[in-house]
Structure 1
Amino acid sequence: MRTKVFGHRGSAGTHPENTMIAFKEAAKVGADGIELDIQMTKDGAIVVIHDETVNRTTNGENKGWIKDYTLSQIKKMDVSYKFKDKYGICEIPTLEEVFNWAKTNQLLINIEFKTGLVSYKGIEEKTLKMIYDYGMEDRIVLSSFNHYSLVKCRRISRTIDLAILYMEGLYEPWKYAKRLHTNGIHPYYQTINQEVIVESKRNGIAVRPFTVNDEKKMKQFIEFGCSAIITDFPKKAKALVK
């Protein structure tokens, strides 16, 4: 089966990460899916931004935790980050905005729960409800470094696609994934090898390493038969897959 390409935070190598223009760019260059990160605001809105704070990616004087801002405050921030001169001001999108746009295409969406530092009460339930309300369940992969969030998701939904994220070497990760009743592994690309890829897939566990930006590594993972690669440069990856 052909290796799929997921645009990491959209097309983070060429556009402001986790913004609508980055997601649209990934779609434009033919990515099979996008990867994005979610946090929750003070008033319970699910927003798409990688960090738990606004410090790194917002321009201006904004500092502090997402959880301490309301959605209306978040929407006034500019997350054009290092691409402002090229693309101008960019908003932080809500997950609902992404879903509304996704109804116009067939992209897969990998949603990462950023629940490692902040325990957002009800974020898993709210996200799953939105997925089902929009009829997106067959196009979604939910992932997290916080595997408690994945266990919670599995208790809510028996069928949603789940994947464990991890940064270090994990012994027989396909067995761990099965024990948590998840469907895939998303390892940091430097911790994965052909043996783990082959054995995981043999056991019915999808393998999607992140963040694969080097062309040699992309080619290698494609040759190894990875289910997908998650990359900041989806255009480059798609050219190699073809």
Structure 2
Amino acid sequence: MRFLKLFKSPSLIAAHRGFSHFNPENTLKALEFSVGRCDFIEIDVQLSRDKKAVIFHDQTLRRTTNIDKDFKVYELSYKELSKLDYGSWFDGIYEPMLDLKTALGFSKKHKMPLNIELKDTSEFCSDAEFVFIVLSLIESFEMQEEILLSSFRHEYLAIIKEMQPNISTAILVEDALPKNPIEYLVALDAKAYNISDELADAKTVKSLRESDIFVNVYTINDEKRAKELFFMGVNAIFSDKLIK
């Protein structure tokens, strides 16, 4: 699991959606900007109506495309999504849709590890099918060792380990850690917690790190807070703008 070797180095910075402070998020332009400025890139994946894996964060398309209706990503086909503009809302410059296949090809070419967050698609697609689609693309590029898969929907993580045990996984949490966080992580065979800044206190980080669990914190855009977290022992931060 070569991705996990990254966490042996201190003070890692992940480009959150490709440093979204500087670029339209989750676009190829954002990935290109991130190369040489971070240790790995975080992106989000979900499915089009015809079940193509696309890179997009929000549940609906209104905020970051030129569509003025609250269509959900899975309500449009891959072809329809491909016709939308993903950049002009940010800087007035057209950017095409980024799909997972393109992102993986970019990652492999530039030797840039990816943390891919699996968005919750359960109201549209079965858990097993979504995981299979994502894993199939990763395997087609032979990139199982360069990828970290994370999700707030922890059911995905269990299925990932059933289908592809060699892929590294991280549990995403926002409001509260599980009651027994170490046992919970072990049960899912995950190696890391990606936690919100609100959960990152010295006691929590110390407990997890003493159990050889990697701790990564989102979303940190303040240099002072970043230094505090690294001093606590946090392995990586996800940032929109703090570059290496």
TM-score relative to the length of structure 1:
0.90
RMSD: 1.6
Q: Which residue does 1:217 correspond to in 2? A: 225
Choose which of 92, 115, 118 in structure 1 pairs with 2:120.
115
The percentage of counterpart residues that share the same residue type is 27
1:64 aligned residue:
71
* Displacement of 1:202: 2.0
| 1:144 equivalent in structure 2 | 151
Report the secondary structure of 1:43's partner residue: coil
1:226-237 pair list within 5 angstroms: 226-235=234-243
Structure 1 residue 103: deviation in Å? 1.9
1:116 touches 1:146 (CA, 8 Å); kept in 2? no
Unmatched runs of 5 consecutive residues or more in structure 1: none
Q: Secondary structure at the match of 1:195?
A: helix
1:90 pairs with one of 79, 95, 98: 95
Q: Given the alignment of the two structures, is residue 37 of structure 1 paired with residue 28 of structure 2, yes or no?
A: no
Per-residue deviation, 1:116: 6.0
1:52 aligns to 2:59 (yes or no): yes
Partners of 2:161 and 2:11 in 1: CA distance = 26
TM-score (norm 2): 0.90
Partner of 1:18: 26
User: How far did residue 3 of structure 1 move?
Assistant: 2.1
Matched, 1:101 2:106: yes
1:163 to 158, 165, 170: 170
- Runs of 4+ residues deviating >3 angstroms: 60-63, 116-119
